[in-house]
Amino acid sequence: MATWTLVVSAIAGLIGLLTAFVNFGTIFFNYRHGVKPFNTDGCVQLNVPGGCEDIVIHAPSHTAFLACGRLDLRTQWFPPLERLIKLTAESDAVYKYHLKSGELVPLTFVNFTGIYRSHGLTIYEHPASEAGTVTVMLVNHGHPDHSSVEIFDHRLDSNTLIHVRTITDPLIRTPNAVVALSPRSFFLTNDFYHRLPGPMRTLEKMTSRAWTDVVVYQPAVEGREALHSSEVRRAYGGLVYANGIDIDHDRGLVFVASATGRRVTVFDMDPDTLELTLRMVLKDLPILPDNLRVDHATGDIYAAGIMRPIEVVTPAHGDHFHPDAKIAWGVVRLSANSISDNRVQGVAKHMPIGDVNRAANATLLLAHPGPWLNLASVAVLDPDNHRVMVGSVVSEGVGLCPI
> Residue 360 maps to which CATH number?
2.120.10.30
Q: What is the pLDDT of residues 71-104, one digit of tens each?
A: 999 989 888 888 888 899 999 999 999 999 999 9
- How many other C-beta atoms lie within 10 A of the C-beta of residue 111? 10
**Does 176 belong to an annotated binding site?**
yes
The pLDDT, as a whole number, for residue 339 is 72
Residue 8 lies in a domain: no
Q: What is the pLDDT of residues 205-264, one digit of tens each?
A: 778 889 999 999 998 764 444 445 469 999 999 999 999 999 998 889 999 999 888 899
Residue 21 lies in a domain: no
The percent of residues above 70 in pLDDT, for the chain, comes to: 82
Residue 23 lies in a domain: no
**Does 54 belong to an annotated binding site?**
yes
Q: What is the pLDDT of residues 390-401, one digit of tens each?
A: 999 999 999 999
Residue 239 lies in a domain: yes
Residue 322 lies in a domain: yes
**Does the predicted model carry a pTM greater than 0.85?**
yes
User: Which residue range forms the structural domain that includes residue 368?
Assistant: 39-402
Residue 25 lies in a domain: no
Three-state secondary structure call for residue 59: helix
Domain count along the chain: 1
Residue 352 lies in a domain: yes
Residue 230 lies in a domain: yes
Active-site residue flag, 249? no
**Does 290 belong to an annotated binding site?**
yes
Q: What is the pLDDT of residues 336-368, one digit of tens each?
A: 876 765 544 444 344 445 555 444 568 899 999
Q: Which residues in 179-200 are b (16+ Cβ under 10 Å) and which e?
A: bbbebbbbbbbbbbbbeeeeee
**Does 121 belong to an annotated binding site?**
yes
Instruction: Beginning with the edge strand found earlier in the chain, give each strand of the sheet holding 376-382 in spatial order.
Output: 44-46, 398-402, 387-392, 376-382
Cα–Cα distances (Å) from 386 to 37, 99, 275, in that order, read: 20, 11, 35
pLDDT band at 32, cuts 50/70/90? very low
Query: Which candidate in 58, 62, 98, 119 is catalytic?
Result: 119
